[in-house]
Amino acid sequence: MAEIAVLALGGNALSREDERGTIEEQYRNALAMARSVRSLIRKGWRIVVVHGNGPQVGNLAIQHAASSDLVPAQPLWALGAMTQGALGSLICLALREVCGDEIEGVVSVITHVEVSPDDPAFEHPTKPIGPFFGPDEAEELAETRGWHMIEDSGRGYRRVVPSPTPEAPVESGAIATLIEAGYVVVAAGGGGIPVVREGTTYRGVDAVIDKDFAAERLADASMADALVMVTGVPNVKLDFGTPEEQTVYNLTTDEAATHLAGGQFPPGSMGPKISAAIHFVERSPSERARIAAITTPELVYATLDNAHGAIEGHRGTRIKLPKAASIAANGGGPDVA
């Protein structure tokens, strides 16, 4: 049976910081991702793509607010659905262009993700969305629009919104069926549309779910073998930005948890990726050990195909179980690389 990999693509991977975010720029970036997907498909992997939407949904919120005197502005959860559809279309077109008849087809699934209405995140917004602003602009937006603004990593001020913990993708069954049928699936875009259950139905809530956590929930529900967080840096680094900075190619879940607790991975950048990786790998089924990886679009193939990465000397960071746990997960067989 073919292995399944879930690729979590950051919104900044489609709309990079040094770009304006035009559709041409985003499509060019999507093509780079699609070439990585093609390499994995040729190796026999079945692929699910989850994408972020932080820059895009923030920009759309500004457009809606600016034109609210002409047409009604829509709530944040609806804007998330809009960007999920738009970016899903763009990614599907890029995959069709690059992969052609090498794939059965590619389908974008508008995905709702259940969250708890009592999640404390609703009282403490932390998720940055949209562009960067100077301090004066940020102060004005906070006063006139009631936005929560924070300074983001020395690059300026951004709006922050609630980011509740995802519980389960509502459409996971349909997604599993598409994977089994051989389709490349684009799902849980922007972390999914956040919804809360009300009896037998759901209601949208204003929030943006972290796409790495949503990808982990979807990967777990899809019985995936690998979870890859695709980002702007090729590897995880310890002591980042200091003279002691070092690149890490391999981490066990125990090592990753220790470094996370020690403050090595900030909550606004690498922290969610490490947390999602740990949770996914530690939930490995008894019959096989899962792996997680963090890297750039160009190094996804080399990172999952470990032998290739070792030969080339260039690959991302892999997170796996400690050796003893890995042996147990593989039925007592030898540890996997």
Give the catalytic positions in this structure: 11-12, 127, 211, 273
Kindly list the distances between the CA atom of residue 234 and the CA atoms of 55, 162, 227, in Å, as whole numbers in the listed order: 21, 29, 15
Burial of 203 (0-12, 13-18, 19+ CB in 10 A): exposed
- Which residues, 6+ apart, have CB-to-CB distance to 172 below 8 Å? 218, 221, 222
For residue 311, is it left (φ>0), alpha (ψ between -120 and 50) or beta?
Answer: alpha
DSSP structure class, residue 120: G
DSSP track, 60-113: HHHHHHHTTTTSPPPPHHHHHHHHHHHHHHHHHHHHHHHHGGGSS-EEEE--EE
**Could you tell me where the DSSP H helices lie in 115-270?**
135-145, 172-180, 211-221, 253-261
Burial of 199 (0-12, 13-18, 19+ CB in 10 A): exposed
Q: Dihedral, CA atoms, 295, 301, 303, 307, nearest 10 degrees?
A: -160
**Could you tell me where the DSSP H helices lie in the chain?**
11-14, 23-42, 54-66, 76-99, 135-145, 172-180, 211-221, 253-261, 271-282, 300-304, 306-312, 323-329
Angle at 262 between CA 257 and CA 263, to 5 degrees: 105
